[in-house]
Amino acid sequence: MIDLKSLTIKEARKKLDEKEFSAVELAQAYLDEIKKKNKELNAYLEVFDDVLQQAKVADAMIAKGELKALTGIPIAIKDNILIKGRIASSASKILENYVASYDATVIAKLKEQGAVFLGRTNMDEFALGGSTENSAYGVTKNPHDTARVSGGTSGGSAASVASDMSLCALGSDTGGSIREPSAFCGVVGLKPTYGAVSRSGLMAATSSFDCIGPITKTVEDAQIIFDAIKGEDKLDSTSHFSQGRSLRKEGKRIGVPWDLINQEGIDPKVKENFQQAVKNLESLGYEIKDIKLPNCLALYYIINFAEVSTNLARFDGVRYGAHKDGKNLLGDYLLSRGTGFGKESRRRILLGAYVLSAGYYDAYYGKAQKVREALKQEFKELFSTIDLILTPTSPIPAWKIGEKSDPLSMYLVDIFTCTANIVGVPAISLPSGFMDIESLPAQAGKKLPLGIQFMAPHGGEESLFDVGKKFEGDFLG
């Protein structure tokens, strides 16, 4: 019997290599968990029918001594990352039966490693939202409390790891879409430096923000996957090779934007948990420095709406995906897009078209890009005096399904995560404890995970892994 609850990639690698269990046995253990749990949680949209065959190939690699970090490691893939010959719907009806014609670069790298793909995970449609409630195929429930959301947009990926239905997963992050569900589900989520991981084969939401990254149980596991998928790619002109940056030798300074954290709208228990995390870091020898950070939500959403509107213009039902016949070509477009896109996608298409329209472009999108450049310079100066920035990952814990019907209230949850995407720096969410649920007697004993977020300078993933492992060791110890 394989203990999936405590299993990590590092431990699985050791046990596979020492023949304690085979890749087929490991894959079967996860398939058994999926069979037991996925019907209720809805983390997977599809479990692949060749999982065990993939595992046999991995076992053959191991037998030949062709060992790589992820050979035989079962991984779940978010539904907006292309795998050749597989459906990739981005959790949308408009791409319900779209079959990918090529592998995303990250998938090609994982195939070369001999990883085993378990299936494609649920998400907010086209990675627009923050709860996976915007999926055309139903919400993904939080493994810690099935009355609550798993977060988004990579909710299926985070829930699959948290519920032991996968050992690890890939997600995508546009404004917190890896980090927020990781915090809600009690796992580790890394958003790399923009361009550190190729976006080729990732369905675009906001092209200048989007990043592919890992969701895992431990910081070390996140590092293993990041090392496997990072690197420059000729298929993505924004990708680059980065040597990384470690913490400065003369000190370990962490900046905390207390003015942003102490404002209204932050759950008191989130603040309390965060303050304890700060104390823990101080006890580990880190210097905490008060810094100022602006609220970047308005800036983020203007750029997000504009780029989403442009990117989703390609989905019209003509070349691929769902198609509806109208009286003429315009009728085809109206029917295909009107029935194919969900409410949140339509909302952002409309708002994006507005901020890009004649007479409003300079007032909104043009001005937002100027502010973005100023913010990048501000962060560059800030990181000349500190090594890391620390915040809660989310201002609130996972909410009840259906509780945030007002889209604005959901947008506000991105207050701590969206800044890293705007300026392109790496960020990681780490589990930082739990809060009790006190609302109903039936929920007595249930606890909701909470998370903290570190941001580092461009190429500073090594700094995130370093502080993450130390915090994780202190937190678990």
| Least confident span in 29-33, 163-167, 240-244, 419-423 | 240-244
Type of residue found at 260: L
Q: Residue 334 has what pLDDT?
A: 79
Nearest-angstrom CA–CA distance, 102 and 88: 11
Grade residue 316 by pLDDT with cuts at 50, 70 and 90.
confident
Grade residue 320 by pLDDT with cuts at 50, 70 and 90.
confident
Cβ neighbours for 274, distance < 8 A, ≥ 6 positions apart: 261, 391, 392, 432, 452
- On the question of pLDDT at 105 being above 80, the answer is yes
pLDDT tens-digit series, residues 207-236: 999 999 999 999 999 999 999 999 999 999
Nearest-angstrom CA–CA distance, 318 and 335: 12
Model confidence, pTM: 0.96
Domain boundaries of the chain, sorted by first residue? 300-355
Type of residue found at 242: S
Mean pLDDT (the chain, rounded): 94
pLDDT tens-digit series, residues 290-306: 999 999 999 999 999 99
Q: Residue 250 has what pLDDT?
A: 47
Q: Residue 324 has what pLDDT?
A: 83
Average pLDDT over residues 380-396: 97
Higher pLDDT, 442 or 187: 187
pLDDT tens-digit series, residues 422-463: 999 999 999 999 998 765 555 556 799 999 999 999 999 999
